[in-house]
Structure 1
């Protein structure tokens, strides 16, 4: 059963949203909305660090990787964005070389937006389950560099941070086992993911219902109900969306981990894993307890995973 052997994250220094007013062209009203209503006070940014440097900073904190490099059969790059570096630069290949993982199969998964991190975890688990070596491991790298102006914020929804995470995944670990996973994409026929006015209205209309459906499907896959969850580790899109979601799902607000929204911004598909590490450091995950990771991304992609600590 797919398990998290270890998780590490790297969060670059955070700056106040107010300092992004000019770079992002924010109005006074938008600054107030992001900070006072959405709870996005500070955003992780690393203007002097490349994507490869950010990923290596996260992987470098993964102590469980040291000495086990030969067991890593797969390196899976979870990308919320398709393009995060100028051609022909390949940050993933740079990371592979720096970590000494030349023997591993290396590839990226994308096109699920900020739900791609959970997709990558599922893909890693699927590959490991089929691998003849029961001791094989996968390294999943999640998070994105805000390489273009398009990637720096989603208008009136969230502001993107550059935090990164590294996950060491096994097929049969003793804890943090994935019991259920479900994903869904409600895409457009033309494949466009930009939030034009029409697309934004449709996204807002379906968001809560589809997210709830995907969460319930993942819970059913795991054989448990909402009331069995100790904690929800969401994507850090904004505080309002999770206040509404909690009410819709019947999950008390104190079981939804929202502490990082004010500290990091929305770090693409790395959010659930950043939140996992924070929750574990705070002692919020009890042995044997159930918790939920969930995300949504541009293009109306949704994902949820149920794990047991």
Structure 2
């Protein structure tokens, strides 16, 4: 079994989206739409390096202290395939700073913002193959919005700069992954950089595609949609999840949207940011079933079901 052993997050200073209007080249109309329709108010921004932001999340991962030798893999889950010129790789320095030089380091980007869920599945597969019940994998998610195309998805989301650290293990005590489904649709909306027409096409297919992949993951878990106690989505905007709620048949009250307006869309880190907040709020009691959903540009839709 694949389980989430521990999750920690680093959420830097938040700034008003109004203060970013010029930087993001947003018109007054676009800014109003983000505020009034999409429910955005603030987003995370940091002056720190990406490596320092990642270390900020791991520094709060208390479970890791004294358990470093158990970590077999360090997996960087990213949306942007490259943020540094070859052969510079800050994650090599991060691994060394954490005392994990014995661990294999790799990066997954294939599913864009859904790569965080891909990393969980990959870590579970690797740990199962190792056959050591005490082995762990460390996933590092979240990144810098370092170019305009990485800072805003037109008429969809404004990107934030929070990070998450996730320890994955092969145990079955808590936060056990029950089902996973993913699909890359291609076709309309399948481009990574969207023009206005392509973005409109993507918005049209979005609710149905989210509902389809969520149902597939729920079925793989041996459950029904009614068994899901909470949905932990990616934080693109509120209106998209209102529409997806209707398509999926899950009440809006079960979709955790509290972070959307204050963090922005933090790349692969969103589901784990939402898990951390929801868990702290007591919304995930023992035995509850929750559904993580992420969508990556390029039309990759992914969903993963856990039991607390």
TM-score tier by shorter-chain length is over 0.9
2:233 maps to which residue?
234
Say if 2:78 and 2:107, in contact at 8 Å, map to a contact too: yes
Residue 86 of structure 1 and its aligned partner are, at CA, apart by 3.8
Residue 192 of structure 1 and its aligned partner are, at CA, apart by 4.3
Distance 1:188-1:95 versus aligned 2 partners, 3 A rule: farther
Aligned residue for 1:266, secondary structure, equals coil
Distance 1:176-1:192 versus aligned 2 partners, 3 A rule: same
The alignment status of 1:152 with 2:151, answered yes or no, reads yes
Q: Which runs of 5+ in 1 are unaligned?
A: none
The alignment status of 1:43 with 2:52, answered yes or no, reads no
The alignment status of 1:26 with 2:26, answered yes or no, reads yes
Aligned residue for 1:269, secondary structure, equals helix
1:288 maps to which residue?
287
Residue 245 of structure 1 and its aligned partner are, at CA, apart by 0.8
Say if 1:80 and 1:113, in contact at 8 Å, map to a contact too: yes
Question: How many pairs does the alignment contain?
Answer: 307
Q: How many angstroms apart in 1 are the aligned matches of 2:23 and 2:199?
A: 23
Alignment of 1:159-308 (within 5 A): 159-188=158-187, 192-308=191-307
Residue 132 of structure 1 and its aligned partner are, at CA, apart by 2.9
Aligned residue for 2:35, secondary structure, equals helix
The alignment status of 1:55 with 2:58, answered yes or no, reads no
Q: How many angstroms apart in 2 are the aligned matches of 1:218 and 1:229?
A: 11
Q: How many angstroms apart in 1 are the aligned matches of 2:187 and 2:126?
A: 30
2:130 maps to which residue?
131
**TM-score when scaled to structure 1?**
0.97
Q: Which runs of 5+ in 2 are unaligned?
A: none
**TM-score when scaled to structure 2?**
0.97
Aligned residue for 1:95, secondary structure, equals helix
Residue 173 of structure 1 and its aligned partner are, at CA, apart by 3.8
Q: How many angstroms apart in 2 are the aligned matches of 1:240 and 1:209?
A: 14
Say if 2:191 and 2:299, in contact at 8 Å, map to a contact too: no
2:13 maps to which residue?
13
The alignment status of 1:65 with 2:64, answered yes or no, reads yes
Q: Deviations over 1:55-94 (max 9, x none)?
A: 0000111000000000000001000111223443212112
Deviates more, 1:216-225 or 1:145-154: 145-154
